[in-house]
Amino acid sequence: MTIFTKIINGEIPCNKVLENDDFLAFHDINPKAPIHILIIPKVEVENFQQVTPEIMSGMTTFIQEVAKLLGLDKNGYRLITNNGSDGGQEVMHLHFHLLGGAKLNWNHLSDSDSKNYI
């Protein structure tokens, strides 16, 4: 069981933004942008590589609702999912990072020179 399952079960508190029967959105504890939300399915899915189109269908609508609720639909936002160890995934429960509230720098997200890795 990951820490996110404990959050879903209410065993660990979170700063909730939006919830429905299938998904939960809450503030990241270590924000990397003025607004940094984590969006997760309530079912245990390890990461994007494991998720079904059916779950992603509901997830897409839910993410759009969260973005609108926070006013991020107007000026834009960044959506990231880290997949596996090379992707930098630390919590093995599928989550999307919704980042916004400022014009985001692209380069600072990568600590390696892409030219060395393609």
Distance CA 99, CA 22 (A): 21
90: contact with ligand AMP by CB under 6 A: yes
Residues forming beta bridges with residue 99, ordered by sequence position: 36, 78
Residue 95 among the catalytic residues: yes
Work out which of 43, 55, 56, 91 binds ligand AMP, going by CB under 6 A.
Answer: 91
Classify 78 as helix, strand or coil.
Answer: strand
56: contact with ligand AMP by CB under 6 A: no
Is the Cβ–Cβ distance between 102 and 11 less than 8 Å?
no
84: contact with ligand AMP by CB under 6 A: no
Binding site for ligand AMP (CB under 6 A): 3, 12, 14, 28-30, 38, 82, 88-91
Active site residues: 95
